[in-house]
Amino acid sequence: MTNAAVAVQHQSVKADDSFLTIRKLTKKFGDVAAVDAVSLNIRKGEIFAMLGASGCGKSTLLRMLAGFEIPSSGAIVLEGQDITSLPPYERPINMMFQSYALFPHLTVEQNIAFGLERDGMPKGDITTRVTEMLELTQLKQFAKRKPHQLSGGQQQRVALARSLAKRPKLLLLDEPLGALDKKLREQTQIELVNIIDKVGVTCVMVTHDQEEAMTMASRIAVMKSGGFLQVGPPREIYETPATKYVADFIGNVNLFKGTLSVDEPDHVVIQTPECQHFVSHGITGTLGMDVHVALRPEKISLQKKAPTPQERESAREDGFNCVQGIVKNVSYLGSYTTYHVKLSTGTTLKVMNTNDARHDDHRLDWDDSVYAWWDGSDVVVLTQ
Amino acid sequence: MQRSRFGLGWMTVVFLFLYLPIFTLVVFSFNDSKLATQWGGFTLKWYAEILNDREVREALWLSLKIAFLTATASVVLGTLAAFAMVRYTKFKGRTLFSGMVNAPLVMPEVIIGLSLLLMLVSVQRAFGVPERGVLTIWLGHSLLGMAYAAVVVQSRLLELDKSLEEAAMDLGCRPHEVFRLVTLPMIAPSLLSAWLLTFTISLDDVVLSAFLSGPGSTTLPIVIFSRARLGMSPTINAIAAIMIFIVAAGVIFGSLWLARAEKRRAEEQAAAYREALPSP
Amino acid sequence: MSSVSLPTPQPAQSASRRSWLDALGARTVIGIPFLWLALLFLVPFLIVVKISISESDGIHFKEMFVFTDGHLQWNVKWGNYAFLASDALYIRTYLSSIYYAGVTTIICLLIGYPFAYFMARSPATWRPALLMMVMLPFWTSLLLRVYAWKGLLASNGVINDLLLAIGVISEPLKMMNTSFSLLIGMVYAYLPFMILPLYANLVKLDLRLLEAAADLGAKPLTAFWKVTIPLSKAGIVAGAMLVFIPCVGEFVIPELLGGPSTLMIGRVLWDEFFSNNDWAMASAVAVVMVLLIIIPLAIFNKSQTENAAREKGRI
C-alpha cells in the first residue's frame, strides 16, 4: 500500500516535472530528416527556446507540436496525453505565427473571439474573456479595428491575445518578434515575457535571433541539422558551450586548435601554436588528444605594456595565456570597441573591451604592438 | 522624356485601335438610315425595334438564364479545380489534370463544340437523353467557364498567406470550417470576378452554342451572328450599344470601387503607424 | 487523487478518422473537377477520334467491332485521313490557318510588347485605370466587336468614307473579305490576350536590375535586350500561345470578316459538319487540327504550370 502510494506520488511529481515530453520525434521529407530523433522534456511554466540557423529543423519541430506536420515517428505527450496524431483543431495548444496570420476580414475583437466561438463558449463568457485579453495586451481602444488599421507592434499584441484567449496548455511562438524593427523588438521582448509570466502558460518558441532567445527563454536548445546540440539555460549555453558549433553560433569566440599537454585533476594545459593555455579546471580527456580552446573576446585584456605578475596573478605562471600581436582593426561601437589583433602565427584574435570612460588615455590604435592576456578560468576546452 | 512621350503615343494609338470599333457601334446605333454605314441623322427607333423583336427578346432571356447557370457552375467547379492544383501538388494524374484544366482556355472552340456534341449524341442514342437545348449548352459553357474561373481563383489562392488557414485550424476549426470562415471570405472577390467573367463569356459565345443548341434554344449570340453574316443591321448596333453600356458601367464602377477601397486601406494603414509612433 | 495525472499516453482516437476525412476531402476536391473534365473534355475527344475512323453513311456509324461468323471484325476506315492527305485544298487550308495564326501572333507581339512595357513603366497610380481600359473591350462581346469591323472596313464603310472625304483616295479601297480584314479582326480580338500576360510579367520586373545593368555600363537599349527581354520570356511564351492556338481554329472572325477567299480550317470543319453533314470528315479535320496544335498546347500547359510554381515560390 505504502509502496503504491509512493509510486503514485513519484509519478505525479515526474508528470509535473515534465509537462511536455517529446520522444524520438522524427520528421522526414523524402529521404531528408528535417527533425531527427529529438527527445526533450519541458517543465510547466517554462519558456523554452529553440535556436538555430534557418533549415535546422526548428520550425518543423514547432509545426509538429502545433499539429501542422505529422511526425514520421516518435511521440509528443502533453500532460500525460499522447497528442502525436491529434489534428491541430483538437490540441490544447495555440500558436502565435511569425506573420501573425490575423484574419484581415475580422476586427481585433472578432479575431480574439474566433477560437472561443469554435469551442462553442457562451456569448457572455466570450465577451468577458475577450475584454480580459484586450486589457492584458492593452488593446482596449483598438477592439473595433481591422488588422490593417494597426501598427506592427499592435498587430503582434493582437496575435498574442488571440493565441492566449483559449487558455492553451502550451503556447507556441514562431519567431515572435521577427517582423518588428530592432528598437521596438527590445521593448516588446520584455512585455511579451511579462504577459506570458502573468498568464503562467508554458511556452515553446522558435527563433534565429540569439539575443531574443537569451532575453526571453529560461532554457535554450541549440539546433543543427534536425537535432539538439545543447540544451540549457542561456548562461550555461554561453559560458560553457558543449561543442565548437555552439561556441561559434552563440556570440563571438576565438577558437584555437591544439593538444592536451598537461592533464591534472585541478588544471590542464593545452598547447596551441599561438601559446600555452593554462586552464584552471580539470577536463575529461587523455593526454595528447586534439582539442579546441574557446575564448570569448570580452574575456581578453589588451594593453601596450607586458602585463605585470600582479596583474596576471590568476594566470599563475608566466608565459601562459598571453600573446603578443599587432592591432589590425579597431571598430568603435559606442558601448564597446572591438579589436582585431594579428598574432605572429597569422591568427587573428578578436578582442572586445567595454568603453567605461568617456576619455581613454591608453587608447589603442591601428598597428600598435600589444599584449593580449586572459584568465585561466575563462578558457573553455572543447573536445567535440 | 522622349521615351515616355513615345510610350504615351504608342498607348494612345493602341487604345484608339481597341476602342474605335466600339465607338462606331454605339454611334451607328443612333443612325437614322437604312444603310447601316451611312450617317442619316439621330434616331432611337432601333432601340424601339429591339423591344418589339420577339426573337431577340426570347434569345436574350435564354442567354441570360444560361449565363447565370454557367457562371454559377463554373465558379464552383473552377474553385475546386484551383484548390486541387494549388493545394495538392502531388497526386496521380496531376499532369493530365492540369492539362485538361488549361487546355479549354486555348483549344479552338470548334473542336470543343464538335467533340462535345458527338459525345452527347452518343449518349442520347444510348439513353434517349439529353435533348439538345439549355442543358447541353450549359454543359459546354461550363466546361469553358470552369477553365477561366480556375485561372482567376488559382492566382488568388497562390497569393493567399497559408498561415491564415493554419491559424484557423490552430484555433479549433475543422477543415470545412476553415474553408467557410477563412478561405472563402479571403477569396470572395476573386469568386465574384470569376463569376462575372464566366457570365460574360457565356453571354457572348457563338460557336459552342451553335453546336450544342437544339430547335427552340437559340441564344442571343446565335441570333446576332446569323444576322451579322447577312450584313450590317442597325438593330444589332442597338443591342451592342446596350450590352456595351452595361458592361462598361459594371467594369468602371467595379474598378473605381476597388481603387477606392485600396486607397482607403493604404491610408488607414499609414495612419495606424503614425499614431503608434511615440509623440515627441 | 484527482490531481494526479498518470503519464500513460491515451490513444488518440481521432487519428484514423482525421486521415479518412482528409482523404475524402482531397478526393472530392480533385475528383469532381477531374471527372467533369474527363467526361466533357477527354472522352468526347476520344469519341471524335473513334468517329473519324468509323465506317459511316452520313451521321450513322457502324460498330467498330463486329462479331460475325465467329470472327472479330474490326471496321476501321482510314479513308477520311487519306482524303485529307491527298486533297490539296485541305493541306492549303491547314497551312494557311497556321500562317494567319502565326502572323497574328507576331503582330500582336509587336504591338503588345511595347504597350505592356510602357504600361508597366507608367506611374503606379495610372496602372489600374490603364489595366481597366485594356480589360474593358475584353469583357464586351467579341462577336459584336468583330461585327463592328464590318462597318468600318466595308467599301461604303466608315474608313473608306473618311479617306474619300479628305481626298487621300479617289475610289473605295477593297478591305473587307481580304486577308487584311481577317488579320485586323484577329489581331484586334486577340491583342488583350497578348498584353495581359506580358503586363503581368513586366510589372513584376525588378527595376533595380535595370539600374544594375546601367551601372555596369549597359546602354538602355542593351539593357532592354539583355535584361528585360530574357526576363519577360515567360510572359512572351504565355501570350504567344494564348493568341496562336485559338487563332489556328478560329471560326467567327474568318466567317464575318474573311470572305470566301481566305482559307481557315475552323470554317472547313464547320462546313463539313453543318453543311455537308459529314461527321466523320469533320472529326478527321478536328483530329488533324489537334495534332497541329499539340506542341503549342504542351508549351502552353508547361508555361502555365511554371507560372503557378513561380508565384507560389514568391510567397
Number of domains making up chain B: 1
A21 contacts in chain C (CB < 8 Å): 7
Whether B67 is covered by a domain: the verdict is yes
Whether A4 is covered by a domain: the verdict is no
| Of A101, A182, A187, residue with least CA distance to A147 | A101
Query: A100, A114, A164: which to substitute to probe chain B, counting the most B Cβ within 10 Å?
Result: A114
Domain boundary among A244, A269, A301: A244
Query: B2, B37, B211, B226: which to substitute to probe chain C, counting the most C Cβ within 10 Å?
Result: B37
> CATH number for the domain including A204?
3.40.50.300
Please name the residue of chain A whose CA is at the shortest distance from the CA of residue B276.
Answer: A151
CA-to-CA separations, B180 to A35, A158, B176, B186, C28, in angstroms, rounded: 33, 22, 6, 10, 16
Q: For residue C9, what pLDDT is reported? A: 39
Whether B186 is covered by a domain: the verdict is yes
Tell me the per-residue pLDDT of C186-205, one tens digit each, with 9 for 90 and over: 999 999 999 999 999 999 88
Q: For residue C27, what pLDDT is reported? A: 81
Whether A222 is covered by a domain: the verdict is yes
pLDDT at A10 exceeding the cut of 80: no
Query: B119, B132, B209: which to substitute to probe chain C, counting the most C Cβ within 10 Å?
Result: B119
**Shortest Cα distance, chain B CAs vs residue C277, angstroms:** 12
Whether B21 is covered by a domain: the verdict is no
Give the HSE-up count for residue C44: Cα atoms under 13 Å, Cβ half-sphere.
24
Number of domains making up chain A: 2
Q: How far apart are CA C299 and CA C302, in angstroms?
A: 5
> CATH number for the domain including A337?
2.40.50.100
3-class DSSP state for residue B29? Answer: coil
Domain boundary among A244, A273, A293: A244
Q: For residue C71, what pLDDT is reported? A: 67
Whether A2 is covered by a domain: the verdict is no
Whether A56 is covered by a domain: the verdict is yes
C12 contacts in chain A (CB < 8 Å): 82-86
**Mean pLDDT score across all residues of chain B:** 88
pLDDT at A7 exceeding the cut of 50: no
Per-residue pLDDT, averaged over C226-234, amounts to: 89
User: Does A82 contact C5 at a Cβ distance shorter than 8 Å?
Assistant: no
List the subunits that have 3+ CB pairs under 8 angstroms with C.
Answer: A, B
Please name the residue of chain B whose CA is at the shortest distance from the CA of residue C19.
Answer: B175
Do residue A226 and residue A295 come from a single domain? Answer: no
Per-position DSSP letters for C211-237, written without gaps between them: HHHHHTT--HHHHIIIIIHHHTHHHHH
Tell me the per-residue pLDDT of C60-75, one tens digit each, with 9 for 90 and over: 666 656 666 666 666 6
pTM here? 0.84
Is residue A86 within 8 Å of A79, Cβ to Cβ? no
Whether A102 is covered by a domain: the verdict is yes
Q: For residue C11, what pLDDT is reported? A: 39
ipTM, two decimals: 0.88
Q: For residue A282, what pLDDT is reported? A: 82
B31 contacts chain C (CB < 8 A): no
Which CATH superfamily is C87-314 part of? MetI-like (1.10.3720.10)
Cell of A261: 599537454
Do residue A217 and residue A278 come from a single domain? Answer: no
Please name the residue of chain C whose CA is at the shortest distance from the CA of residue A7.
Answer: C6
Cell of B270: 499609414
Compute the count of residue pairs across chains A and B with CB atoms less than 8 Å apart.
77
Which of B171, B177, B269 is facing A94, going by the closest CB pair? B171
Whether A5 is covered by a domain: the verdict is no
pLDDT at C93 exceeding the cut of 50: yes
A143 contacts chain C (CB < 8 A): no
Do residue A225 and residue A279 come from a single domain? Answer: no
Residues constituting chain B: 280
Which of A89, A105, A153 is facing B173, going by the closest CB pair? A89
User: Does B172 contact A119 at a Cβ distance shorter than 8 Å?
Assistant: yes
Do residue A261 and residue A116 come from a single domain? Answer: no
Q: How far apart are CA C71 and CA A311, in angstroms?
A: 111
Q: For residue B35, what pLDDT is reported? A: 66
User: Does A151 contact B172 at a Cβ distance shorter than 8 Å?
Assistant: no
Do residue A240 and residue A257 come from a single domain? Answer: no
Do residue A203 and residue A267 come from a single domain? Answer: no
B177 contacts chain A (CB < 8 A): yes
Which of C40, C151, C220 is facing B37, going by the closest CB pair? C151
User: Does C40 contact B221 at a Cβ distance shorter than 8 Å?
Assistant: no
> CATH number for the domain including B229?
1.10.3720.10
A91 contacts in chain C (CB < 8 Å): none
B145 contacts chain C (CB < 8 A): no
Residues 6+ away with beta carbon under 8 Å from A202? A19, A20, A42, A43, A44, A45, A46, A48, A169, A170, A171
Whether B8 is covered by a domain: the verdict is no
More confident site: C17 or A251: A251
Query: C42, C252, C274: which to substitute to probe chain B, counting the most B Cβ within 10 Å?
Result: C252
B172 contacts in chain A (CB < 8 Å): 89, 115, 118-119, 166
Query: B171, B182, B267, B275: which to substitute to probe chain A, counting the most A Cβ within 10 Å?
Result: B171
Q: For residue C196, what pLDDT is reported? A: 92
Give start-end residues of each CATH 1.10.3720.10 domain in chain C. 87-314
**Shortest Cα distance, chain A CAs vs residue C29, angstroms:** 20
What is the DSSP pairing of strand A254-263 with strand A268-271? antiparallel
Whether B252 is covered by a domain: the verdict is no
Whether B278 is covered by a domain: the verdict is no
Whether A305 is covered by a domain: the verdict is yes
Tell me the per-residue pLDDT of B155-207, one tens digit each, with 9 for 90 and over: 899 888 889 999 999 999 988 888 889 999 999 989 998 999 999 999 999 99
Q: Domain of residue A324: give its range.
A: 252-382
User: Does B169 contact A148 at a Cβ distance shorter than 8 Å?
Assistant: no
Do residue A97 and residue A157 come from a single domain? Answer: yes
B40 contacts chain C (CB < 8 A): no
